Amino acid sequence: MAISVLPGCFFSRSRTNPELSPELASQIIPNQSTAGDVTRVLGAPNEVVQLGLRTAWRYEHTVEKQSAAFLVFLGLRGVDTQSDRVWVFFDTDGNVTNVGTQFQASEAEYDVPIF
């Protein structure tokens, strides 16, 4: 009974999809790489968007860090979700035309809010 009202806390971390890195993404070169090259480097995409006869492929690795403190009748919870994301744009022949990247998954933080 007494234990049930004691303060507590927890931390959790979850990840979605394999990690991406600037080194991997830099191997995809616009006007040189093909769809085959992209799958060899990054594997199967998480999403394929049809743009007329062109396509865009999304790769995403997400990290969510969650922390919480329970103070009897008050719970404080912080959730931080950040991702590494790569979009590869192809022309009608399956050649890479553009690559967009962002790498922020490592910036996810445990942060119990104190207001």
Binding-site member from 49, 61, 90, 106 for other proteins (CB under 8 A): 49
Maximum separation of any 2 CA atoms in the chain, in Å:
68
Residue closer to other proteins by CB (options 40, 77) is 77
Q: Which two tokens stand for residue 100?
A: 């967009």
Window 78-97: residues binding other proteins (CB under 8 A): 78-83, 85-87, 89, 92, 97
- How many residues in the shown chain lie near other proteins by CB under 8 A? 34
Which residues, in sequence order, are CB contacts of 41 under 8 Å at separation 6+? 24, 27, 28
Candidates 9-17, 35-43, 107-115; binding stretch for other proteins (CB under 8 A) = 107-115
| 46 in contact with other proteins (CB under 8 A) | no
Burial 69-103 (b: 16+ CB within 10 A, else e): beeeeeeeeeeeebbbbbbbbbeeeeebeebebeb
**Residues within the interface to other proteins (CB under 8 A):** 49-53, 56, 58, 73-83, 85-87, 89, 92, 97-102, 104, 107, 111, 113, 115
